[in-house]
A = this chain, B = another copy of it.
Amino acid sequence: MTDAHPRAHASRPRDPNAPSSGGALAEMSADALVTAQLREAITRGQLSPNERLVEAELAERFAVNRAHIRTALAMLDQDGLVVRLPNRGARVRVISDDEAIEIAETRLAIEAMVARQAAAKADATGRAALRALEKDMARAVEQGDSVLYSQCNAALHRELQRMAGNATADRILNTLKSHLVRLQYRVFLLPGRPKTSLAEHRAIVAAVCAGDADAAERAMRDHLTSFTRLLKQAIEVARLGGF
């Protein structure tokens, strides 16, 4: 209706040689879409760790062919969200305590670099965005709104990634974070955490906006070190208390 040409389906020719599944939600291959859906189902906890992922079931659930599920599982296997044992099917990969810490530490290493790069490349738009997010964050703390806070937190880190313009680090960080989402809420819920976290974020924003790369890296390092320490603590508590 909106387009007279029967064969036309996209106006722009699309940039080739770009990470295949990175783009917008529309104009995505069926495989990529299914993969994204499955990934989200896992990270949101709708599929619990170690749960068996039966191809036929998933195919029905997402209303697609088994082949699509199959490639989706292969891709998620590739970035460690799923384990596949030959002839025995796939399961949601369980992240061991030790591994969770590994992930947090690796994230720290990369994100410290990202903060440095963001500071080095900071422009007016980015600075404004950061300051706005800082304000939102402060409001969330005042109101004691954990959900909002966690959203602002994620948004702020994403904005830093955007400013750094490091696609490689981006991809890796997104993968690492998808592993952490299920764990980080424990840290957010610790008493007093939002307040310290806010202060740490302020330091990051200030350093990045000032274009001080060293300070930005240091601030991010402090922030994520503190996060990692609390994560370890939370894990330890769970290990002792849970059993």
The complex is assembled from copies of this chain, and their number is 2
B78–A17 touching, CB < 8 Å: no
A17–B168 touching, CB < 8 Å: no
Determine if A19 is an interface residue (Cβ-Cβ < 8 Å).
yes
Residue in chain B with minimal CB distance to A110: B109
B113–A106 touching, CB < 8 Å: yes
Size bin of chain A's contact surface: 35 or more
When distances are taken between beta carbons in the complex, the residues of chain B under 8 Å from A77 are: 20-21, 75
When distances are taken between beta carbons in the complex, the residues of chain B under 8 Å from A236 are: none
B16–A85 touching, CB < 8 Å: yes
Determine if A136 is an interface residue (Cβ-Cβ < 8 Å).
no
Binding site for B on A (CB under 8 A): 14, 16-21, 28-29, 31, 50, 67, 70-71, 74-75, 77-80, 83-86, 91, 93-94, 99, 102-103, 105-106, 108-110, 112-113, 117, 166-169, 171-172, 176
16 contacts between A and B (CB under 8 A): A16-B85, A17-B91, A17-B94, A18-B83, A20-B83, A20-B85, A74-B74, A75-B77, A78-B78, A78-B79, A105-B117, A106-B168, A108-B113, A109-B110, A109-B169, A110-B110
Known contacts A109-B113, A168-B176; 16 further A-B pairs (Cβ under 8 A): A16-B83, A16-B85, A17-B94, A19-B83, A20-B85, A28-B86, A31-B74, A74-B74, A75-B78, A102-B166, A102-B167, A105-B166, A106-B113, A106-B166, A106-B168, A106-B172
